Chain A
Amino acid sequence: MIELSGVTKRYRSGEEWLTVLDDIHLTVAAGEFVSIMGPSGSGKSTLMHILGCLDVPTSGSYRLFGRPIERLSAQELARVRNQEIGFVFQNFHLLPRMTAQKNVELPMMYAGVPRRERHRRALELLGQVGLADRAHHLPNELSGGQKQRVAIARALANRPALLLADEPTGALDSATGQEIIDLFLSLNADGMTVVLITHDPDVARRARRIVRIQDGRLVTGAGEEGRP
């Protein structure tokens, strides 16, 4: 599903070039649950932005579902983000002036799903993440864990094949964090491909496969640590 080969990302700071991702080779098959673990500043988010078609590598190639991403137009990239990828962020990134339901409807709105169908599916998804009774609440009326559940429901709205989560437990206490990971695991059990980014070894350990990243490089021989 995901094939990164020789992906490098550099930023220019003054005279110097800063290499944030250095020659990354990574393959993720459909149905996998992969943790990408590394300390802060190691390039995890940058990697996720590339995986999510929000950013492009400086060099190297990225194929998603067999298509080379660098050949897609802006319009096609928007469609990929809308239909094939679901994002979950550390800070939830809910739109503050919209209710939980409206937030969940947003990707469907961009997909052109009719109103009634949108309402129905949003309520169904909120039910799935255990928030059926919070549909009309604004984000600031919800706890951190609830916000993250809304964000997950939103990420699932258009039935994507790939779920990308960037430190989804980073802003939560450990018990709530565990619940969120449980949710990802059950989604994965239903066939969803999940790439989970974290700096927390306890969280990473729950994935079937762990990839370590350090200073923008993948640390080799680290694929076997996850749960059996």
Chain B
Amino acid sequence: MNLGEMLLSAWTAIRSNKLRSFLTMLGILIGVSAIITIVALGQGGQAAVIATIESPRLQNTIQILPKETLEPGLPQPDQILSFSDQDFQLARQFSGVEDVYYTLYGQATVASDGRVVNAELDAGPQYLNEIAHFTVVQGRMFTDADVLAHRRVVLLSPSLAEKLFTGAPRVGQTVQIGGQPLQVIGIAAPAQFNLLGSFLGTDYVYMPATTCRDLFPWWSISEMDVEVKPGIDKVDLGNRIVTALNIRVHDSNAFEESTRFYAGLEQTIGQVTRILTLVIGSIAGIALVVGGVGVMNIMLVSVTERTQEIGIRVSLGATQRVILLQFLIESVLITLIGGVLGVLLGVMGSLVLRAVTGLPTTVSGWAIAVSLVFSTFIGLVCGIYPANKAARLNPIDALRYE
């Protein structure tokens, strides 16, 4: 009797009792789908966090920070905390530099017609939308002319506009920030999933960096962003600018390039999500083992129920090996089918999660492979004892069994 025939016969046995076979594989199915979904969620979350740190625009950007922000401990009294205009001028002189800009970030109260709302303020260059992840849904983005002229223009997030104004049109209205009137030139929706946004709420104000400096001159410019031209060695250029800033302007080791800092941050985030995935994954693994115990239980019942069948097969010339393999293959097939269904359910689950949370959940082939191998393994381990019991049945007892 070859393997193909044994598989077919096992499949027939599984099919002839569909409900029981399904209930038997349910534990495996749930365990596997949980593992697939959790791993997908973990990887998606990690990808989302990294994407927030590393948007495409930031890929060719050098971030230069006062040294103190990169190192733990209290700042020295003579430490530089904020960049000056002189620093920016120096950086712009380097060849290979596309643009030098800065962003400001803080909290501000936005008022209109007696209503006051606390919001997150994001200020930067005319391409702030690419850095802070938002899309203009109504009106327009501020331009480089707005930035150069320190124009008093803002964009509001939809929820903030909702809170400030009762009716349309909202574009063209005036709001008060820092005691100054500003014109609303557009409505801008933050990206659907923004990890920081989900902690900080959804009320945002966006404006040119120059305007923000006028309103809040005491906010420090704690980061200088240098966008390099394509093909330029970003790390090398970054080091040269930092050296120039330190020696020529500040005469100390006041600045540092942040690639190292972000790489470390990414690594930490990766580690945290990996540990989380591992912990939740092990819980799902326990569910799998419990499922395996269920399979073993049903297989034992099945051997008892089919005692007579076993006796008949033995009388027709089945060897112990054939009987053993018959039950073992049946058990493996049950857990493997459970595993495959679990993978399908897990993939669906992660697609649903992606639609609901906006997290870029990614089902890894690795997780699928491990799940399938593991469920086969469970089928083998939990099937071997019942199969062995079946093979060792005394054929006479089996034939007398009514």
Contact = CB atoms under 8 A, between A and B. Distances in A.
Nearest to B318: A110
Given A54-B395, A54-B399, A75-B319, A112 B1 contact: yes
Contacts of B396: 49, 54-55
A93 B399 contact: yes
Interface stretch (B75-83, B270-278, B306-314): B306-314
A177 interface: no
A82 B395 contact: no
Contacts of B320: 74, 78
A97 interface: yes
B8 to A, nearest CB: 10
Bin chain A's interface residue count. Answer: 20 to 34
A81 B317 contact: yes
Nearest to A55: B396
Interface residues of B, number: 22
B5 interface: yes
Contacts of B311: 93
Contacts of B317: 78-79, 81-83, 107, 110-111, 158
A121 B48 CA distance: 65
Contacts, number: 60
A87 interface: yes
A106 B316 contact: yes
Contact of B322 (A81, A83, A110, A154): A110
B399 A95 contact: no
A62 interface: no
A109 B6 CA distance: 10
Contacts of A75: 319
A81 B315 contact: yes
Contacts of B159: none
B126 to A, nearest CB: 75
B319 A106 contact: no
B71 to A, nearest CB: 74
A121 to B, nearest CB: 15
Contacts of B1: 109-110, 112
B86 interface: no
A147 B252 CA distance: 101
A81 B320 CA distance: 13
Interface string A66-88: 00000000110011011100010
Contacts of B16: 97
B307 to A, nearest CB: 12
Interface of A: 49, 52, 54-55, 74-75, 78-79, 81-83, 87, 89, 93-95, 97-98, 106-107, 109-112, 154, 158
Given A95-B309, A98-B12, 7 more contacts: A82-B316, A82-B317, A93-B315, A95-B312, A95-B313, A97-B16, A109-B1
28 contacts: A54-B314, A54-B395, A54-B399, A55-B396, A74-B319, A75-B319, A78-B317, A78-B318, A78-B320, A79-B317, A81-B314, A82-B316, A82-B317, A87-B316, A89-B399, A93-B312, A93-B399, A97-B12, A106-B313, A106-B316, A109-B1, A110-B316, A110-B317, A110-B318, A110-B319, A110-B322, A112-B2, A154-B316
